[in-house]
Every structure is written in C-alpha cells, then in structure tokens.
Amino acid sequence: MRLPILFLLAALLVGCGPTDAPRIPDYRTLGELRVATRQDAIAFRYDEDGSSGFEHDLLLALGEHLQVPVSFIVYPDVTQMLRAVIDGEAHLAAAGLARNDLLPLRWSSPLREVDYVLVGRADRGTVRTEADLNGRMVSVRRGSLPADRLERLRKRLPGLSLHRPAAEGDQALLEQAAAGKLDLVATDRLHYAIAKRVFPELTVVWELPIKSQIAWALPLEPADPLAQEVATFLDHMRASGQLASIADRYFGHVRRLSTADIVRFLSLARERLPRYRAHFQEAQTRTGIDWRLLAALAYQESQWDPLATSRTGVRGMMMLTTETADRLGVRDRLDPRDSILGGARYLEMLRDQLQEDIAEPDRTWMAIAAYNLGMGHLRGARAIARTMQRDHTSWWGLKTVLPLLSRPEYAARLKAGAARGGEAVIMTENIRNYYDILTRIEPPYLPPLQPRGLKLSRNG
C-alpha cells in the first residue's frame, strides 16, 4: 500500500534520527543566525544584485532584532533543509515551507496564507471535473503539500501520472509548462501569478482543495531560546505593519495586470522597445537609473510612442509638460532621445528631492508617483499619512493614502488642491509590474563608466 507523500517525508525525517555530529551552538554563542533555505522566486533568490526575497528580507530584520548577522545555507530541496534543522546544522529553515505538523519540528506563526492550483497552457484543454485529469501528467515539486493530495487523487484516477522532480522550483516548472514541455504543474496561486506575467499562455485549469500557511521550521526543543524570540519578532512585525510592507514589496502588485495587458506589453516589447533601447541605456549611464525601469515608465506613459499626445498637452515618449521640458532643457518633446533623457533626469530630480528617511525601493516608487502627481501633492499625502499614523516613509503606507487626495475633506489640506491620487497608485503599480517583466526578459546594462550605483535595488 502506497503511503501519502507527507507521511513518507515524516517517516524519512523521523526514522533516520539525528546524526551523531555535534549540534551547532545557539545563535547567541555562535554569533550568527544560521538559516537553511532553498532558491525560490518568492522567498529567497539570487539575482543580478545578490540575494533577496520576502523571507530573505524578513530574516535579515530578525537578525537585527537578535543583534546577530544572518548566514543563509542553500540546500537543493525541502527534505535536506528540514533535515538540517533536525540534525542541528541550522537554527531554522525558511523558504516557502507549508506547515506540516507531522514532522518533528516546531513551527512559527504563519507568514502568509497559500492556496494551490493546477496550471497549464490554455490551449491544452480544460479540466471541468476530476475525471478530466485521467490521461494527464502533473508535475509537482517533491516534498510540497500538493504532492500528497495528488498521490491520494491518483488512487481514484489510475490514468493520472505524477512527475516529482526533486530540485526544480515552481518557476522552472511553470516555464517548462509554458514551453509545452510539461503538461500540468501543481503550484500555489502566487507562483502562478508571477509566472503569468511573462508567460500569459498559462492558465489555472483546476483549483486544488488545499489551503495552508507558510511558516518557519525550528527545532523541537522545549528550551530553544530562538522560538520565543521568533514569536515576539513576528508579533511585532504584524502589529507595526512591517510584515505587510515587506510582502507588498515583493508581491503586492503582481496580480494587477490582465492577460490582455501582459500580451500587449510583451508584443510591444518585441516590436517597439528595440528601437529605443540605446536611448534608455544612455539615460541609465547619465542618471544611474536602471534602463529597464525607465523603459517601464515610458511604456506606462506612452506605450513607447514618441509622438504620443494627451488632451492636457503633455507630449512625447515620457509625456513631459511644456514647463517641465523647458526646465530640463528638452528641445523637442517628440524626439525620442530628448524625451527619454529628459524624463530620466526628471525622475532623478524627484527622487533626490525626497527626504533621507525614505529607503529603497520605496524611494523610487514614491518618485514615480510624484512623476504623475507632482512633488507638492506627494508631500501633502505624506503629511496626511503622518496625521493618520500611517507609515509615511514606505510605499505600502502611502499608497493607502494617495486615493484620498480626491476627496474634498482631504484636498482642503493640500496647498495644490485635489489630485487623482488613485490614478498615481495604479500607474506606479503598473510600472512595478512592467519593470519586473523587463528584468525577466531583458539583460541589465553595464556601461563602461557608470557615474554611480543604480538607483533601484532589485529588492524592489
């Protein structure tokens, strides 16, 4: 009789027993917090600027709380990560782990809720009933929660095949499904949303009846000093809004674009963007702002149309007003190079006007909102946020306030009058998405003489 996958995993981790190797000292004695992790598009990843991710940033904040540095040890799969905690090789494990109380581990309070889906190409046929899965192959990451449910499902559907790769992550599996190399992939809805921004041909074909919580795994030791510190830390992060702010940094914007929006953006990225790539890269050389961010801003403004004109008189690729163009020395707003260089200088100027207490990537998102609203309205929104006891130094806090600027009771507090702050939020969130997509499909530009570091960390 075949045991469910999670029972097998539990048996493997429990049955092997701890190794004879000495356990590492606690974080205070060792002088560092040692974390077992794995590469994951949401939780922990390496990119062109180093390591980042939702749980990566949260763990760095935990290290500050504990007053010790954090050392990340990357394992190829979940089983080895959890084994490292049980064997005393790591203080905790963290990387998109669904809580599993069958394992001999202590679990933190939840970081986020997750639900699971089956994803495939839209042209591969629909799944209306469970029986439609007969004859299909589902790829599911080994050790994941859906693997257990699908194993049970296969008992009722003998025609269902399972493919369980050990080391490949959700995004790699979804990319293969988009290319037609895999039939269906079991993943969580957030991983699907991230992949769909680059592969719009993907769609949810079946809702798996699974919900879970992502948490950190700690040793099952009654006297572990770390467990209470983690509980205190996470309670504070929730109460202060910092947990929500970090979550928003990585995935608060990913579901905003429709499939039609994504298809059009990818199409124009192939057709139009190559004509202007050199201008955006020149603008990066002059300002230090990632050329892909400037291209994302230009797409939102004009869809890369150098002759674009609005009813309010703003014109060109970067949709500059006459006053702004004159101030920046832009001779011809309809010349794509002049417009791109001018728009980049304007964004740089707005960013530099923000107070020093605003860190990246929030600084860049606020500057982009000011590109739409004007710096006066942005400062007014920050002042209102302070009176409402919301975080005026984070984009997460400010984007809940900006839509209020159109209401008379709030507009009366602004020297510049009412503003369409909700439109500025939508524009900024769209640009965040376009920028994320461009970083997936376009390489970074490294000019021979970069005047200073890039303005936006890829942590955003």
CA distances from 292 to 98, 175, 279, 284, 374 (A): 34, 22, 11, 9, 22
Tell me the residue type at 300: Q
Q: Is 394 helix (H, G, I), strand (E, B) or coil?
A: coil
CA-wise closest residue to 137 among 181, 197, 80, 96: 181
Taking the alpha carbons at both ends of the chain, their separation in whole angstroms is 48
Q: Are 253 and 429 in contact, with CB atoms under 8 Å apart?
A: yes
Tell me the residue type at 129: T
Question: DSSP states of 62-109 as a string?
Answer: HHHHHTS-EEEEE-SSHHHHHHHHHTTS-SEE-SSPBP-TTSSEEEPS
Residue 387 CB coordination number (10 Å)? 10
Catalytic residue among 89, 301, 348, 429: 301
Distance of CA 412 to the CA centre of its chain: 36
CA distances from 37 to 19, 56, 70 (A): 20, 9, 12
Q: Phi/psi of residue 114, each to 5°?
A: -135, 150
Residue 182 corresponds to which tokens in the numbers above?
């895999």
Residues 100 and 106: their CA atoms lie apart, in Å, by 10
Provide the pairing of β-strand 92-93 with 33-37: parallel
Residues 196 and 254: their CA atoms lie apart, in Å, by 9
User: Would you put residue 21 in left (φ > 0), alpha (ψ -120 to 50) or beta?
Assistant: beta
Q: Is 221 a catalytic residue?
A: no
Tell me the residue type at 98: A
Q: Is 315 helix (H, G, I), strand (E, B) or coil?
A: strand
Q: Is 187 helix (H, G, I), strand (E, B) or coil?
A: strand
- Catalytic residue ranges: 301
